[in-house]
Structure 1
Amino acid sequence: METPANDNNATPAQRALDALVENTDDTAALDTLANSEVLVPVPDDALEEEAADPSAVALPVLEEPDGRPVVPVFTSELEMTELLPFVSRYRLVPLGALASQWPSDDLSLTIDGSSAHGLTLTSDGVRTLLARPR
């Protein structure tokens, strides 16, 4: 199957992820990613008021096979439905803004986790690599 990043419909964030697969130190790709909006699934147990509040984002937390908690975000609806086909709501959030408020615990972030260009970062990596001044 051809990934969306390999066709003309790839988003800038997907192209940045592809570049980071080749070179993890690509600062231009990191900047593009940090300045991109990502889809953050709204947890099923989030109240409607919480889901609509522009000042807060309820983070969906999944458990990795090794037990580590991870927050999945996506560069497109297609990427999201491949991993989480039953998600009914999501929010568009600037990744850099999300990263600048990332908790300091062991919560990781995975971007397009089911794709060939997926990227998972530790909490330190999220704050260090993706948080950008607003």
Structure 2
Amino acid sequence: MTDPQFERGPLAAQQALRTVVEKGADQAALSTLAHSEVLVPAATDAEGPAPKALTLPVFEQEDGTELVPVFTTQERMEHALPRMRRHRSVLLGVLAHGWPSDLSLVIDAGTPEQLALTANGVRALLDRGDI
């Protein structure tokens, strides 16, 4: 269940991100994030029905870290990845539940609310049993 101070939707997710970035692992904010929809960039430009499996877009950093970016709004996604126009929406907690052990996650890359988590952090902080 989410805390009443955090509503639902992109603005609530951004407020929760800001809280976690500024104050640390606030449980109400983490719950709000886990229950929020995020946009996962989709590399394919093919038309037609969405594939049944979610393909994670993996970016390798200079230090070898592999990360997956997700975004709270289309605008934030297009700002960080201007060529990326397509996406899949998914609840962050559902995404966290099956998170691979070797990938990091960054939420809203390039914004003041940017939050980067290791694979362990994704599972420990965002994988909620009630989603």
Measured in 2, the distance between the counterparts of 1:57 and 1:128 equals 21
TM alignment of 1:23-62, pairs within 5 A: 23-44=23-44, 52-54=50-52, 56-62=53-59
- What RMSD, in angstroms, separates the aligned Cα atoms of the two structures? 2.0
The change in CA–CA distance for 1:128 and 1:47 in structure 2 (over 3 A counts) is farther
Measured in 1, the distance between the counterparts of 2:83 and 2:46 equals 17
* Alignment-mate amino acid for residue 25 of structure 1: A
User: Do the aligned residues in 2 keep the contact of 1:43 with 1:59 (CA within 8 Å)?
Assistant: no
SS across alignment from 1:116: coil
User: Do the aligned residues in 2 keep the contact of 1:41 with 1:89 (CA within 8 Å)?
Assistant: yes
Q: 1:63-106 deviations in whole A, cap 9, x for unaligned?
A: 123221000000001110111011121011000000000012x2
* Alignment-mate amino acid for residue 32 of structure 2: T
User: Do the aligned residues in 2 keep the contact of 1:62 with 1:71 (CA within 8 Å)?
Assistant: yes
**Percent of residue pairs bearing the same amino acid type:** 50
Select which of 100, 104, 110 maps to 1:114. Answer: 110
Measured in 2, the distance between the counterparts of 1:61 and 1:96 equals 19
SS across alignment from 1:22: helix
TM-score of the two chains, using structure 1 as the length reference: 0.83
TM-score of the two chains, using structure 2 as the length reference: 0.85
The change in CA–CA distance for 1:10 and 1:57 in structure 2 (over 3 A counts) is closer
- Any stretches of 5+ residues in structure 1 without a counterpart? 1-8
* Alignment-mate amino acid for residue 127 of structure 1: R
Which of structure 1's runs of 4+ aligned residues deviate more than 3 A?
Answer: 46-49
User: Do the aligned residues in 1 keep the contact of 2:16 with 2:29 (CA within 8 Å)?
Assistant: yes
* Alignment-mate amino acid for residue 58 of structure 1: T
Measured in 2, the distance between the counterparts of 1:47 and 1:61 equals 19
The answer to whether structure 1 residue 83 and structure 2 residue 114 are counterparts is no
User: Do the aligned residues in 1 keep the contact of 2:10 with 2:73 (CA within 8 Å)?
Assistant: no
How far off its partner does 1:132 sit? 0.9
